[in-house]
Chain A
Amino acid sequence: MASPEQSGVTQMAKDMATEFSSTPESIWTQAWKRFRSNWLAMGGLVVLTAFILIAIFAKQIAPFNPAKIDLLNADAPPGAGHILGTDLIGRDVLSRLIFGSQVSLLVGFLVAAGAVLLGTIIGAIAGYFGGWIDTVLMRFIDVMLSFPSLFLNILVLSIFGSNFLYLILILVFTGWMGVARLVRGSFLQLREMQYVEAAKAIGVSHWEIMFNHLLRNATAPIIVTATLGVGGAILNESGLSFLGLGVQPPATSWGQMLFNAHEYMLSNPVLAVYPGACIFLTCLAVNFIGDGIRDAFDPRQKTRIPKGRIAAWRARYSKSRA
């Protein structure tokens, strides 16, 4: 049998061999490798995937119709028929949770996508062209940021009526500023690069430089912001639904379930626990994934070495052993 050191050396030789024989890894492969070793992020990915699958196959999984009112079975305790019981008007809680995931995830991803799209376009224009365009757009962002966005959401949804489309639109409209600032910031730096000058010299259009050359180099931070934006959008949706401004019955969402649960808190407080826990889990998963992606793309990222291993190294290699 080889000693541990020897096997380590063999392993290293193997690693080097593969490294030299194959083409260099792309940053995506490297990032994915780093992401995979981050167990929090991987856990988040597993949880999020599970929720996405539940949302997609809600019809197949859910034991009952989530909107079906069954007054004879109202307020049933958790048991054989209804695994998590029923609410005050006899709707199956588990089925409502399962269908509620659709709204939360859909809002989360649509809003994040919309905010990234809008924010990227505005940020790219501001950062690339600079000058008065930049000043005007930045002023606008300042105004948008300065106003408490929840108030604007409430105002619009209560006046124009709440439906799914308005909900998405207003959340996008109040959620793009972070991405815009980010993209503008990196474009301000990137546009001074020589390859931009070169591209201009050979007659590449502004549009192409912006979205073909510059945007590529700003992808990683945008992905991180987008991921974290998903969690934010899910939280916002739940808040608005809790105020009665989100999706309307018979459609169901976790925030709406909390709204109902709070109304009937005195008779059955447990109902408030499940939907909130679902929101919490989903957002936690999304945030862990976002942090994981950020760390995976961070070139300065340091792997934290356990104290025990440092002590072992010191014991083995340090000449000034005291």
Chain B
Amino acid sequence: MAEFLIRRVLQAVLVLFLVSIVTFGLMHLAPGGPIQMNIAPGQSPAAIQQQIHNLGLDKPVPVQYYEWLGRLAHGDFGTTFKAPIPVSALLWPALKNTLILMTTSWLITLAIAIPWGIYNSTRQYGLSDNTAALIGYAGFAMPAFWFGIIMQVTFSLKLDLLPLSDMYSRGQEGNIISLIQHMILPVTVLVVIGLAGYLRYARASMLDVLGQDYVRTARAKGVSERKVLFKHALRNALIPIITILGLDLPGIVAGATLTETVFNWPGMGRLFVDMAFAREYSVLMAITIMITVVVIAGNLLADFLYALVDPRVQVGARGGDV
């Protein structure tokens, strides 16, 4: 166990290095650069040069990377180029907003998908199962942001029931009622899109288990159907779902870029888009690193949960086949 942990952490550090080097190199080797966005019209070349020098952008890229790494080691994400705002001042509020939106919709998705998927596995091709299949097909073929726009048009512009976008109504910042009103539409969109995947997983996973020999044995010896489902089958059916949960964890932190854009939700996804357009490298690097960390943590968590719920799995022995 300890050996496995050490190996995984070392791997994680290596991956983190690689991702940061690639992202950093990509941004700094690109034509143009952050300075392009901040040149005032009519600025003299000398002044531009001075500005580049002040920002440290004239140093060789490896040196810049090394300095960035040094600052990161001290927990300093740097500041933005334009108006020097500390990156953390942008990052943490966005993260908080994204977490509010994503955890809510994620929990609702799971609370619906797992029981419903299990129910459907026991009554295949019934009305409920076909409805779920319909949601699945629609969810996989529909641009989530278009669904969001349709919801806005219907419930906000036509019926005038819910606010169009933003997180709070003007002058009501911090008001929880206003927040909930603003969350209904984006959460609905994210839940429907999320259901498409999770309903399938839950149903397929349960069907897989229900087809196994030990379930037949249990039924043959007269265990009640209820007990077969919830005591024998459910535990094993949850294993693959748990793995998928671990792999989906980064999405909760990264946010739903397009949904956030449609609903003007000030979260991580939108911050990333805005900062990419403004070429604020330090913010982009900070977000990239943060998400990579969560990705690795999610993978690790999935492994551990896997071993926890399934005693047959030996930690570290999980092959990556297929």
Contact = CB atoms under 8 A, between A and B. Distances in A.
Interface of A: 138-139, 142-143, 146-148, 150-151, 154-156, 158-161, 181, 185, 188, 231, 235, 238-239, 242-243, 255, 258, 261-262, 265-266, 269, 272-273, 275-276, 279-280, 283-284, 286-288, 304
18 contacts: A142-B15, A148-B250, A150-B257, A150-B258, A154-B273, A155-B288, A156-B26, A158-B277, A159-B32, A161-B31, A185-B321, A235-B141, A238-B146, A242-B261, A265-B152, A269-B158, A273-B153, A283-B142
A210 to B, nearest CB: 18
A287 B140 contact: yes
B18 A143 contact: yes
B322 A147 contact: no
Interface string B8-42: 00010001001100010011001110000000000
A142 B320 contact: yes
Contacts of B295: 146-147
B18 A155 contact: no
A243 B257 contact: yes
A185 B321 CA distance: 7
A304 B125 contact: yes
Contacts of B149: 258, 261-262, 265, 272, 276
Given A242-B258, A243-B257, A146 B296 contact: yes
Interface in B139-156: 140-143, 145-147, 149-150, 152-153
B299 A146 contact: yes
Contact of B146 (A269, A279, A286): A279
A146 B250 contact: yes
Interface centre among B15, B149, B262, B284 (most CB of A within 10 A): B149
A276 B150 contact: yes
Contact of A159 (B157, B279, B296): B279
A286 B141 CA distance: 9
B141 A280 contact: yes
Interface in B305-322: 320-322
Given A159-B26, A269-B157, A287-B137, A280 B19 contact: no
Interface of B: 11, 15, 18-19, 23, 26-27, 30-32, 125, 137-138, 140-143, 145-147, 149-150, 152-153, 157-158, 250-251, 254, 257-258, 261-262, 269, 272-273, 276-277, 279, 284, 287-288, 291-292, 295-296, 299, 320-322
Contacts of A161: 31
A151 B321 contact: no
Contacts of A279: 142-143, 146
B251 A148 contact: yes
Given A148-B291, A151-B288, A243-B258, A280 B142 contact: yes
Nearest to A182: B322
A242 to B, nearest CB: 6
A283 B142 CA distance: 7
Contacts of B145: 239, 242, 258
A11 B295 CA distance: 59
A276 B292 contact: no
Contacts of A185: 321-322
A276 B141 contact: no
A148 B257 CA distance: 11
Contacts of A142: 15, 299, 320
A160 B146 CA distance: 27
9 cross-chain pairs, A with B, having the tightest CB-CB distances, nearest first: A276-B146, A283-B141, A146-B295, A185-B322, A158-B276, A284-B141, A159-B30, A269-B153, A272-B149
A261 B226 CA distance: 51
